[in-house]
């Protein structure tokens, strides 16, 4: 039973029970989902390949992100953990239970915590990255530096940095949370969570054919992004090439920023001011000077300090990053203000030519700065993809 995938459970016995459920007078009859709908939520995104899944693969609805600190300086122990994690990731991304499953033996704690037993894989992807402190701790040459400070940053160390990160994305939040929870359990004694972040309403699209979601300021976010099928832009701006190190070939550098929005202030500003701040129209998403969302951005039509003008490649020597962030909403603070914003995630070939110069320009002049504050930060080396039979980061240790 433990080897039965959740996919098979869903399309087999689970549905049969639902379909046969009789109803009494006055009760609404339970209608099982259409097979097509079940199949859609049952879609898998392959874990193995030349690049890690979760970067240039379709963007799911939900995020669970976690940063871990190692409690060891032993490369052998870390390798052991990465092997265990990879095996678990292969199972979870194909809708299977971890290890011997959620009901593997009555006298021991189950290997799998069990909360996804009747759920589909929901396009789960798991993406791993190593922070600069990972290399220091293990005495390995680091491929990148810490991010520099930027004007206006108010970074909370408890929401920043970490040795290893895991980005779990899925269409069902329970699937993403389950994945991180079970990886965390397996890490006991080798690594522990430093901070984590849940996200919803992806601020990115995979292709221009998808409807662009809106961020918490009400604007479509993710319009002008690198599309997952645009191989030439991916190779130029996202994937690490021969410049090395070798274990990063086909990998990418991830930058994460927890960006809080001062929504109470934003919500008191006029529509005109909001649109001037972004440089696009709120309802249509069209850039100033255009009438449709995907009309080209002509930077000279946009207010000089507008966010899109300053972030556009034409204002940045052609530089591009691939954005894959999510909204977050973590309740209210002690003064009753919303703790809401954007968990910004960007992938790039090199942070020194991607996020860093872009953020320098934005932090110096962006009209949006009045309404946002960067409160958490991380930079992560995400190794190339995992081959069948290999494990996350194997090339780094071999
Ligand atoms: C350093 C990079 C960026 C940060 C940090 C950032 C924060 C941030 N962005 C929005 C809202 C929008 N951003 C939009 C476009 C956009 N943003 C960046 C970079 C950063 N954003 C880029 C490279 C672009 C694309 C510019 C272009 O080429 O046209 C948009 C417009 C829609 C879109 O294209 O996605 C919005 C809206 C917020 C609210 C925010 C911090 C909270
Ligand atoms: Fe932006």
Ligand 1 atom closest to Cα of residue 341: 42
Q: Are the beta carbons of 72 and 192 closer than 8 angstroms?
A: no
Write out the DSSP string of 74-86.
-HHHHHHHHHHHH
Ligand 1: centre distance to CA 186 (Å)? 36
Ligand 2 mean position to 276 CA, how many Å? 14
The ligand 1 atom at the shortest distance from the C-alpha of residue 346 is 2
Q: How do strand 322-323 and strand 62-70 relate by DSSP bridges?
A: unpaired
Closest ligand to C-alpha of residue 301 is 1
Interval between CA 338 and ligand 2 midpoint (Å) = 20
Q: How far apart are the C-alpha atoms of 86 and 91, rounded to whole Å? A: 9
Q: Output the pLDDT for position 398.
A: 82
What is the 221 CA–ligand 2 centroid distance (Å)? 7
Residue length, the chain? 398
Cross-strand partners of 296: none
Q: Which ligand is nearest to the CA of 233?
A: 1
Tell me how far apart the alpha carbons of residues 140 and 136 are, in angstroms, rounded to a whole number. 6
* CA atoms within a 13 Å half-sphere pointing along the CA-CB vector of 102: 16
Angle value at C-alpha 188, between 187 and 191, nearest 5 degrees: 60
In angstroms, the CA 17 to CA 340 distance is: 41
Domain-located, residue 52: yes
Residue 8 placed within a domain:
no
Report how far residue 128's alpha carbon sits from residue 78's, in angstroms, rounded to the nearest whole number: 13
Mean pLDDT by 10 residues, the chain (398 residues): 37 28 34 40 90 97 98 97 98 96 91 95 98 98 97 97 98 98 97 97 75 95 94 97 95 98 97 98 98 97 98 97 97 93 98 98 98 98 97 93
Q: Give the gyration radius of the chain's Cα atoms.
A: 22
Q: Which ligand sits nearest to residue 204's alpha carbon? A: 1
Distance 307 CA to ligand 1 centre (A): 7
Structure tokens given for 192 = 């522990």
Write the residue with the smallest CA distance to atom 13 of ligand 1.
221
Cβ of residue 372 lying under 6 Å from some atom of ligand 1: yes
What number does the ligand 1 atom closest to the CA of 320 have? 23
Give the tokens for residue 270: 């006029």
Contacts (Cβ under 8 Å, ≥6 apart) of 304: none
CA distances from 313 to 1, 226, 308 (A): 53, 12, 10
Is residue 242 assigned to a domain? Answer: yes
Ligand 1 atom 12: residue of nearest CA: 221
Distance 68 CA to ligand 1 centre (A): 27
- Would residue 268 count as lying in a domain? yes
Q: Under the phi-then-psi rule, with left for phi > 0, alpha for psi from -120 to 50, and beta for the rest, what region is 318?
A: left
Q: Cα separation of 124 and 41, whole Å?
A: 10
Half-sphere CA count of 198, side-chain side, radius 13 A: 15
342 lines ligand 1 (CB under 6 A): yes
* pLDDT of res. 207: 67
ipTM over 0.95: yes
263 lines ligand 1 (CB under 6 A): no
In a domain, 120, yes or no: yes
Which of 224, 287, 360 most suits a substitution to test ligand 1, by most atoms within 8 Å of the C-beta?
224
Nearest CA to 94 out of 8, 184, 185 is that of 8
Number of structural domains (the chain) is 1
**pLDDT at site 40:** 55
Residue span of the structural domain in which 176 resides:
44-386
């Amino acid at each position: 039973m433990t080897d039965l995938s959740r996919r098979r459970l869903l399309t087999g016995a689970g549905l049969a029970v639902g379909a046969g459920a009789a109803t009494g007078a006055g009760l609404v009859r339970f209608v099982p989902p259409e097979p097509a709908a079940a199949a859609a939520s049952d879609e898998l995104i392959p874990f193995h390949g030349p690049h890690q899944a979760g970067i240039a693969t379709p963007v799911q609805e939900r995020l669970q992100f976690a940063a871990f600190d190692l409690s060891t300086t032993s490369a052998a122990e870390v390798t052991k953990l990465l092997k265990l994690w990879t095996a678990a990731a292969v199972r979870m991304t194909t809708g299977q239970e971890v290890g011997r499953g959620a009901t593997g033996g009555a006298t021991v704690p189950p290997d799998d915590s069990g909360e996804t037993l009747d759920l589909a894989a929901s396009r789960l992807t798991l993406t791993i990255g190593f922070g600069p402190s990972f290399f220091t701790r293990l005495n390995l040459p680091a491929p990148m530096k810490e991010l520099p400070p930027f004007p206006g940053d108010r970074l909370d160390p408890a929401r920043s940095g970490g040795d290893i990160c895991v980005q779990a994305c899925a269409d069902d939040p329970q699937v993403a949370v389950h994945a991180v929870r079970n990886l965390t359990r397996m890490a006991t004694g080798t690594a522990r969570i430093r901070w984590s972040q849940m996200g919803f309403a992806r601020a990115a699209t995979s292709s221009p054919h998808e409807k662009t979601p809106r961020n918490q300021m009400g604007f479509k976010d993710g319009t002008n992004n690198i599309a997952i099928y645009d191989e030439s832009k991916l190779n130029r701006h996202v994937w690490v090439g021969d410049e090395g190190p070798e274990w990063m070939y086909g990998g990418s550098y991830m930058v994460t920023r927890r960006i809080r929005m001062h929504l109470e202030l934003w919500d008191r500003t006029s529509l005109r001011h909001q649109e001037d701040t972004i440089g696009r129209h709120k309802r249509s998403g069209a850039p100033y000077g255009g009438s449709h969302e995907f009309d080209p951005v002509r930077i000279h039509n946009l207010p000089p300090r507008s966010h899109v003008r300053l972030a556009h490649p034409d204002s940045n020597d052609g530089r591009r990053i691939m954005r894959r962030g999510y909204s977050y909403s973590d309740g209210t603070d002690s003064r009753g203000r919303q703790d809401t914003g954007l968990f910004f995630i960007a992938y790039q070939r090199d942070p020194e030519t991607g996020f860093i110069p872009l953020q320098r320009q934005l932090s110096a002049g962006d009209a949006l700065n009045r309404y946002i504050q960067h409160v958490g930060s991380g930079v992560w080396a995400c190794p190339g993809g995992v081959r069948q039979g290999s494990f996350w980061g194997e090339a780094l240790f071999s």
